[in-house]
Amino acid sequence: MKRLLAGRQVNPFGLGCMGLTHGYGVPPAPEDAAKVLEAALDLGVDHFDTANIYGAGRCETLIGNTLAHRRDEFFLASKTGIMFDGPKRGTNCHPDAVLKSLDESLARLKTDHLDLFYLHRFDASVPIADSIGALVRAMEAGKILSYGVSEWSAAHIREAHAVHPVAAVQTEYSLWTRNVEIAVRDTCAELGIALVAFSPLGRGALAEGIRDTSTLLESDIRYSHPRFDADNWPRNLALIDGFNAVARREGVMPAQLALAWVLSRGDNVHVIPGTTNIAHLAENMARQDWQPDAALLDEVGALINQQTVSGPRYPANMQKTIDTEEFT
């Protein structure tokens, strides 16, 4: 059941931790978020994914405070490279910034090393060899065991891999976000790189997580995402209703079917769905050994895909920070 990630066999069902501190409206209280982390570990999750920007460091602090005493039980990944200055968002993968951010992350996480450290976005202002060189120095110092990149194009992944082998590429991948299929998925398979899919449940849309988008708070990132707006959501909801009907027919929950579809895309693929709800976490894990047959996978893949979904995955200002190839 386990799959290889950065030289280590881990459960391909990891936990994306962003929502525990920000991103989807009002986050849970720290004590409740801590219970989710503990429950995940107890349910067999051994891959936790966070980033320095999640909650402006609060997510890393939460993980450190909650799980530091069980550090040898799980694979820990974090990221750097996205910066916020008030309302402004940008990238900074300068070597000095990368190494400074790493030390700050290690302190918050209460650990002396990360199993995997990603460059969260591509920074066109810094030569790739310079950014990767800093990560190599961090590996030589024992602060990280491997490195990865997030939302990078296939060409830039290859360029980084030529400097030092890339362990993992993280990108959005789900039934309704297929950009990785243009070039990144094949590149990862060719080079022996793990592909870590974030938002494999379509930001909750494929897990019965939302029906009325008019109730979204401005602090919820979906509030500004086109697929959830008043024009596109009714059409997308119709697709989701059809998908949910297929899941009911098969006797599984929609989230279980959506996750199984992503994992079927390759033996190097991992998923890191996020949740703030222990019941949802248990639901995600309950059918982790299930492998749907090809006919079912093809059926849902034909129902929800890049051609049938309405609206781009990001608003224009965020899309500018994404290096992954886009459909034309």
3-class secondary structure per residue, 217-245: CCCEHHHHCHHHCCCCHHHHHHHHHHHHH
Read off the tokens for 157: 């992944």
- Choice among 54, 118, 147, 314 that is catalytic: 54
> What pLDDT is stored for residue 85 in this prediction?
65
Task: pLDDT band for 91, please (50, 70, 90 cuts).
Answer: very high
Evaluate whether residue 189 is within a structural domain: yes
Evaluate whether residue 62 is within a structural domain: yes
- Residue owning tokens 């990603």: 118
Read off the tokens for 144: 């990280």
**Separation CA 144–CA 125 (nearest Å):** 24
Is the model's pLDDT at 89 over the cut of 90? no
Q: What is the pLDDT of residues 96-130, one digit of tens each?
A: 999 999 999 999 999 999 999 999 999 999 999 99
Q: For residue 190, what are the domain limits?
A: 3-319
Evaluate whether residue 327 is within a structural domain: no
> What pLDDT is stored for residue 90 in this prediction?
83
CB 262, CB 297: distance < 8 Å: no
Evaluate whether residue 108 is within a structural domain: yes
Evaluate whether residue 282 is within a structural domain: yes
Q: Provide the mean pLDDT of the chain.
A: 96
Q: What is the pLDDT of residues 235-272, one digit of tens each?
A: 999 999 999 999 999 999 999 999 999 999 999 999 99
* CA end-to-end distance (rounded Å), the chain: 36
Evaluate whether residue 326 is within a structural domain: no
321 phi and psi angles, rounded to 5 deg: -90, 0
Specify the long-range contacts of residues 71-75, CB closer than 8 Å, at least 24 apart.
71/110, 71/111, 73/41, 73/46, 74/41, 74/45, 74/46, 74/47, 74/48, 75/5, 75/6, 75/8, 75/10, 75/14, 75/46, 75/47, 75/48, 75/115, 75/116
**Separation CA 316–CA 120 (nearest Å):** 18
CA-derived radius of gyration, the chain: 19
Q: What is the pLDDT of residues 178-195, one digit of tens each?
A: 999 999 999 999 999 999
CATH number at residue 212: 3.20.20.100
Read off the tokens for 225: 């995402």
> How many structural domains is the chain composed of?
1
Is the model's pLDDT at 87 over the cut of 90? no
Is the model's pLDDT at 60 over the cut of 70? yes
Read off the tokens for 40: 């995940």
Is the model's pLDDT at 135 over the cut of 70? yes
> What is the share, in percent, of the chain residues with pLDDT greater than 90?
94
> What pLDDT is stored for residue 55 in this prediction?
93
> What pLDDT is stored for residue 317 in this prediction?
86
Is the model's pLDDT at 1 over the cut of 90? no
- DSSP helix/strand/coil, 122: coil
Task: Please say if 54 is a catalytic residue.
Answer: yes
Evaluate whether residue 280 is within a structural domain: yes
Evaluate whether residue 328 is within a structural domain: no
